[in-house]
Structure 1
Amino acid sequence: MDINSLKLMLENGQDSLILRFGLGQALIKQNDYSQAIEHLLKALKYDPEYSAAYKLLGKAYMKNKQSQLAIEIYKKGIQVADNKGDIQASKEMKVFLKRLL
């Protein structure tokens, strides 16, 4: 689904974790990191244990040249992923974090 369709859904009151995550993902692909960050933060308000959103948010911060925030998000995301048993997400975020340190 394209960004305009996702934004239209949002305007029509269909706000959700998946919609915000999808918007964040689509905006990163278009190099609109500031907007992606905004939507991914809102996705995490829906579910603070959604490890995929931490991984994507860390990427958006990194691409937006906000390394310190990326580090903080990856650390939090690793903790969340480990607590949930989401081994793959934890491993990926550990690799991304190591590149920033």
Structure 2
Amino acid sequence: MGLRETLEARLAGGQDDAMLRLSLAQLHLRGSDWAAARDHAVACLGHDPGQAAASKVLGKALEALGDTPGAAAAYRAGIERARAGGQIQTAREMEVFLRRLESRSSGS
């Protein structure tokens, strides 16, 4: 059983917390399962609204799903969450993602 399956089994067994959901969101993002990544990132933010890393995953998943406005909103919210939590590098990463997204959408 792989890591994703192990974490999914924990979730199915009733364990549901922000870190579990963030881990699942990241694994699904790496596996190109954008909808599952989105759903787990949203669930993570439900547990911990200040979780900037979940906003980053959410933005990437929404971008991959073609939801440009949703991705931009996720990145903007994540930048604020990261700044509030002193996570400067995470904020900078999302600023780059947001600029690239806005550049691509204005060029379309």
Distance in 2, matches of 1:45 and 1:100, equals: 25
The aligned length equals: 101
The residue correspondences of 1:1-101 to structure 2 (distance < 5 A) are 2-101=3-102
For normalisation by structure 1, the TM-score amounts to 0.94
Larger Rg: 2
For normalisation by structure 2, the TM-score amounts to 0.89
SS class of match (1:65): coil
Distance in 2, matches of 1:83 and 1:29, equals: 27
Distance in 1, matches of 2:3 and 2:63, equals: 24
Structure 2 residue runs of 5 or longer lacking an equivalent are 103-108
Runs of 4+ with deviation above 3 angstroms: none
Residue type matched to 2:40 in 1? H
Distance in 2, matches of 1:81 and 1:29, equals: 22
